[in-house]
Amino acid sequence: MSAAALTFDELIQRDLPAARGGDAVAYGRIVSACQNTVTAVALAITRDVAASEDIAQEAFLNAWQRLDSLHSPDSFLPWLRQIARNLARDHLRRYRDQPLDGANAELVLAVAADPGPQPMDHVLDGEREAAAAELIAALPEDSRETLLLFYREGQSSQQVATLLGITDAAVRKRLSRARQQIRDDLLARFGEFARNSAPSAAFTAAVITGLGIATKPAAAVAATTLGAGAVGSGVAGKSLAGMLGVGSVIGGSIAGGWLAAHLTRRFILAYAETLEERDAILAAYHRYLRWTLLWMTIVFAVAIWGYSLALTTLLTIVAEAVSLRTLLAIRRTLLPLIARDRGRDPDGAAKRYKAYDYSYGPTAIVWTGIFYVLSMPLFHIALHYGGSGMATTVQALWRVFS
């Protein structure tokens, strides 16, 4: 029976046991069925679309690693929703709300919903989300998730009831309460926002890719970590680049590096308390991501297409130097924010700094540099000279360092 023909409960009953055994494809089908719910839960709390997707991805990855602790398939979705709520509340504690006032929210939403061409679309995207955030905030708390899911699930109250674990009558009551709070024209525009901001198939693909980085559920207890945030963009991104095989070297490694960076950027955004600070951090982060992934692509292309080992080694060093320069720019942006954090909350600051240190900070910089500079020449040798060339190289290195 195809997934499309299954009810939600039937899909969970079928795929969850396989997912607990480490089947990422089965878990991907579960993610696809639940992603509207989990992002809606996060969006109802954070009122930030980008943050809600980051939180939902983290919730799915956390659940994947802890599937062994779940004893009943019927408990999966309530458990997953609670993980998302806890992560969303943690997010709110790290940021101060900066909402528009009600009158401006209505004006912005009216303009942003205009289907005609706009000369400042890049500005209106942010204004649209800010206005929608105000509307979400104006709703009764128990109606927010319901209304978002109602529009994302084809306006089916029964499907919403299934996903939220409540009765159809309770869904209808919450919808009625929400409609009393918001004018009809704004409610229609909110519905358009809810549908347009729903996660796409790319969201599921990103989570599935992340499962390759996260610990499988069957090994979650025994596995060791590289430290707080060890899937950080510095360590995991370039480490993946050095280890992946020929079959999907460029595409897989670059995608892995991008995903690792995306999943761990929260460790640096945790220091932002204002929109200006967040924008400054993101600007430095995006420079790091663009330049690092560009140079990783160049080095892989040179290594795979059989240019000299000397050229591969030289370009690897250049790529590492570029990455180091952009990572230091992130650090310069963060230093005053880190100092402020330590002054306010020394204990919490130590934990946050450890997460940053192992993802973008000095520890990540040192270890990723050593690993990447060594791994890419070895990758070149293994690719073009086979096992004998690799063995000869390892023996030579052993003689040098022993």
Work out the pLDDT band at 186, boundaries 50, 70, 90: confident
Mean pLDDT score across all residues of the chain: 74
Segment 273-282 mean pLDDT: 83
Work out the pLDDT band at 276, boundaries 50, 70, 90: confident
SS3 80: helix
pLDDT higher at 282 or 206? 282
> Which residue type, as a one-letter code, is found at position 182?
I
Rg (CA), the chain: 24
pLDDT of 97 over the 90 cut = no
Work out the pLDDT band at 399, boundaries 50, 70, 90: low
Provide the pLDDT for residue 217. Answer: 52
pLDDT of 319 over the 80 cut = yes
Q: What single-letter DSSP state applies at residue 100? A: P
Contacts of 378-386 with C-beta under 8 Å, sequence gap 24+, read: 378/242, 379/242, 379/303, 380/303, 380/309, 380/312, 380/313, 381/309, 383/246, 383/303, 383/304, 384/306
pLDDT higher at 141 or 204? 204
Domain ranges within the chain, ordered by starting residue = 3-208, 233-401
Work out the pLDDT band at 315, boundaries 50, 70, 90: very high
Provide the pLDDT for residue 128. Answer: 56
And the tokens for 20? 């607990």
Please report, in angstroms and rounded to a whole number, the separation of the first and last CA atoms in the chain. Answer: 60
- Report in angstroms the alpha-carbon separations of 59 from 42, 55, 85, 86, 127: 10, 6, 9, 9, 27
Please tell me whether the overall predicted TM-score, pTM, comes out greater than 0.85 for this model.
no
And the tokens for 73? 């398939």
pLDDT higher at 228 or 116? 116
pLDDT higher at 36 or 265? 36
Residues 112-123: tens digit of each pLDDT: 444 344 343 444
Provide the pLDDT for residue 131. Answer: 63
- Report in angstroms the alpha-carbon separations of 127 from 48, 131, 144: 11, 6, 20
Work out the pLDDT band at 262, boundaries 50, 70, 90: low
- Report in angstroms the alpha-carbon separations of 237 from 257, 259, 287: 4, 8, 15
